[in-house]
Amino acid sequence: MGQVRKVPMRTCTGCRQAKNKKELIRVVRDKEGNVSVDFTGKKNGRGAYICPDEKCLDLAVKNKGLERTLKISNIDDAVYQQLRKELGE
């Protein structure tokens, strides 16, 4: 019998639904406190995940989901702009 691989699940900070990790966009905070969008999913630091959907991003901004998950007080607008640009493509 073939080995069944466990699919890593992560919770979206906007809609709060658990989804396949590969379907979500990762936002990471490094040791210095810099927040950036992680397209590789391999950067070191604390990660937060969000659906590639503008409604989820709006919810995450409204309820400060990314801030809470990354354990920081506020996120630079440039990070949100980069996420919006990615979703627009």
Over the stretch 21-77, which tens digit does the pLDDT of each residue have?
999 999 999 999 999 999 888 999 999 999 999 999 999 999 999 999 999 988 889
- For residue 82, give the H/E element and its range: helix 77-88
The neighbouring-strand residues paired with 10 are: 19
What's the pLDDT score for residue 4? 86
- CA–CA dist 18, 54 (Å, integer): 17
Q: For residue 13, give Cα distances in angstroms to 3, 4, 5, 84.
A: 31, 28, 25, 15
Res. 1: pLDDT tops 90: no
pTM: 0.88
Q: Which of 89, 81, 88, 68 is nearest to 36 (CA)?
A: 81
Res. 88: pLDDT tops 90: no
